[in-house]
Structure 1
Amino acid sequence: MKSIGRPLILLIISIGVFIGCKNDKNTKSVIINQENEAKVKPTNVINIVTQAMEFQMVDTIPSGWNTFKYKNLSDEIHFVVFEKYPEGITIDSTRAQVFPVFDKGMDLINEGKNKEGFSAFNSLPAWFFNVEFTGGIGLVSPKETAVSTIKLDPGRYLIECYVKMKNGKFHSVMGMYKEIIVSNTPNDLLEPEATVGVSISSENGIEFKPGITSGKQIFKIAFKDQKVHEHFLGHDVHVVKLDESADLATLNNWMNWSAPTGLLGHGVDGVTFLGGTQEAPAGDTTYFTANLKPGNYALIAEVPDPLSKGMLKTFSVPSN
């Protein structure tokens, strides 16, 4: 599974593509700890919990299809994106060579110095542009639980959240990241049976058939293509519950990380994020589950002005 670029870190990769950085192949092998390999067991659900700015979960998981149940017990919106390291790279490499560069660049951008901020990313190590982004769990509001299913190859991964705090700092800079080993041991989980089919593409936006009903729904997201948008990132799909006070224009603007008020952790009035899927490569399929009550909802991508791209689509769930 490969992607064109995503988060906090995803964001930087796409910036690197934009400014013409070249990939540098790393020929070292990922060494998966044999003790961890022996302990890993196939499982139906992998639990992830956040109480503040952390991911509480096991360190080693099976390869293949994995279902993740994410409980956001904190007071801010979060998500979980999976990033597969190049061979031979570890979390220590990221701490020493990536986070300081990222922090400096974001500070400049938050000060309104966009040109200087983006130029700062020229200091990123060459290996960083070989990171692969393999999906994850979409935006989740405080006290909500989300479920997503993605397929993972063996290797070493970083998971993180790059939603912003009120001061403009990304959550990952505050420690919201974790290194995960995906074992050579395969999971026995089968691909889910979807109840709602959704496709997303740069040409047609988000598409799905009307008639979504209440109750537990399993959304199948087919990525028809993938591209770098104006904010240097690809597209993904999130599901939101819209109260009567929800303003679509405000939500539309909030989805752009580069806007001063974009992607701030306190969210948007009248909008509850229920999960979804992070960016995945063209041709890939991911799944997420949502328990829908009667009311108004939307599927939306984290891109600048998703409404103009057909990536903000509302729907209503009727009473039974």
Structure 2
Amino acid sequence: MKKSRKPVFLFLIISSFLFNCKNNKKTNLIDDPIVDVEEVVKEPTNVIDIITHSMEFQSVDTIPSGWNTFKYQNLSNETHFFLLDKYPEGKTVANTLTDVAPVFAEGMDLINQGKPEEGFAAFGKLPAWFGDIVFSGGSGLIAPKHTAVITVKLEPGYYIMECYVKMPNGKFHTLMGMAKPIIVTQEDSGNTPPESTVNIVVSNDAGIVYDKSITKGKHIFSVFYKEQKHHENFMQHDVNLVKLEDDASEDALEAWMDWSDPKGLITPVPHGITFLGGVNDMPAGSTGYFYADLKPGKYALISEVPNTKSKGLFRVFEVKD
């Protein structure tokens, strides 16, 4: 599996180098006729339950490798997600607390003070092993009192499950208790991936592209990361499904998805926005799946990077009655 460079306590893989990110050309979505969704998309019964009541993950400590389906119930009053970070051999959450957390706190404090250059420079103090973390998928952002169901394939190893949405004071949820170790064993689950109803491909040039018009009803979306790259805020692509009310601002949503803005990724979410899950960051060549039951209305698929519209990473669509 190809290594990803997206950081633990948020983007924290901030390498000491800066790079130029050019705007990618927009690619039109495939203009297929509407295809009726299957009358019944069977929800999985063999799931790993995750529950959040406040700022915690309640789940098992050990799971098998291979394909696994997670049912994440966000019973809190905050928007959350979970990301699975595969740690290099010999490193644990204890190393994060001693080697990463102090650097993280210094850098984020400077960014929140309006000193982004100093903040990014502080992240250059991150330990060398930090770059060996493999970000291996998880749920997209999920609104309070909502449930996300996702399926990913995991290699054996030591993982940390985390959420790095920000508190109103700018502190990340990881520092509030949302960082849980998970052991993925050598034993294979024996599970197979679900059959998708809509297929999404994410690439550097085309952004987010899906293969048919999206109808109302239950869906299983596959998300294939054809490519990955770092954007201006050091993040890589992910896919988040969003319900947009009539008075929701697309500009406000786009700005909120960029953590490098002190007001980005912070509670509360913009008005008229409801996050409905998705598939978190994964290495290039990986595929994840997420379930959704869509009612008529306006929706979007968006990544957690700056300038999503110009990069094809913000796709708005209408679900008709």
Give your verdict on TM over 0.5: yes
Structure 1 residue corresponding to 2:291, chosen from 271, 282, 289: 289
**Cα displacement (A) at 1:8:** 4.4
Q: What code does the residue aligned with 2:5 have?
A: G
**Cα displacement (A) at 1:10:** 5.2
How far apart are the structure 1 equivalents of 2:2 and 2:77? 32
* More helix per residue: 1
Answer whether contact 1:10 1:133 (CA < 8 A) is retained: no
Distance 1:295 1:91, change over 3 A: same
Q: What code does the residue aligned with 1:279 have?
A: D
How far apart are the structure 2 equivalents of 1:19 and 1:314? 31
Which residue number corresponds to residue 147 of structure 1?
Answer: 149
Q: Which runs of 5+ in 2 are unaligned?
A: 20-44
Q: What code does the residue aligned with 2:106 have?
A: K
Say whether 1:179 aligns with 2:181. yes
Which residue number corresponds to residue 63 of structure 1?
Answer: 65
Which residue number corresponds to residue 12 of structure 1?
Answer: 12
SS of equivalent to 2:140: strand
Which residue number corresponds to residue 83 of structure 1?
Answer: 85
Q: What code does the residue aligned with 1:266 have?
A: P
How far apart are the structure 1 equivalents of 2:6 and 2:54? 23
SS of equivalent to 1:98: helix
Q: What code does the residue aligned with 2:122 have?
A: A
How far apart are the structure 2 equivalents of 1:316 and 1:66? 31
Q: TM-score, normalised by structure 1?
A: 0.89
> Once structures 1 and 2 are overlaid, which stretch shifts more, 144-153 or 211-220?
211-220
Distance 1:134 1:17, change over 3 A: farther
- 1:61-117 deviations in Å (ceiling 9; x for gaps): 010001001111111111101110100111111111111211111111110111221
Say whether 1:97 aligns with 2:99. yes
SS of equivalent to 1:48: strand
Answer whether contact 1:138 1:275 (CA < 8 A) is retained: yes
How far apart are the structure 1 equivalents of 2:3 and 2:282? 6
> Once structures 1 and 2 are overlaid, which stretch shifts more, 210-219 or 153-162?
210-219
SS of equivalent to 2:276: strand
Answer whether contact 1:84 1:157 (CA < 8 A) is retained: yes
How far apart are the structure 1 equivalents of 2:3 and 2:219? 26
Which residue number corresponds to residue 303 of structure 2?
Answer: 301
Answer whether contact 2:63 2:183 (CA < 8 A) is retained: yes
How far apart are the structure 2 equivalents of 1:254 and 1:244? 18
Answer whether contact 1:136 1:150 (CA < 8 A) is retained: yes
Alpha-carbon RMSD: 1.5
Which residue number corresponds to residue 213 of structure 1?
Answer: 215
Distance 1:192 1:18, change over 3 A: farther
Which residue number corresponds to residue 48 of structure 2?
Answer: 46
SS of equivalent to 1:78: coil
Answer whether contact 2:10 2:164 (CA < 8 A) is retained: no
Which residue number corresponds to residue 24 of structure 1?
Answer: none
SS of equivalent to 2:192: coil
Report the identity percentage. Answer: 55
**Cα displacement (A) at 1:211:** 2.2
How far apart are the structure 2 equivalents of 1:187 and 1:122? 39
Which residue number corresponds to residue 2 of structure 2?
Answer: 2
How far apart are the structure 2 equivalents of 1:256 and 1:246? 17
Following superposition of structure 1 onto structure 2, how do residues 134-283 of structure 1 map, counting pairs within 5 Å? 134-283=136-285
Answer whether contact 1:73 1:143 (CA < 8 A) is retained: yes
Answer whether contact 2:5 2:132 (CA < 8 A) is retained: no
SS of equivalent to 1:148: strand
**Cα displacement (A) at 1:119:** 1.7
**Cα displacement (A) at 1:17:** 5.8
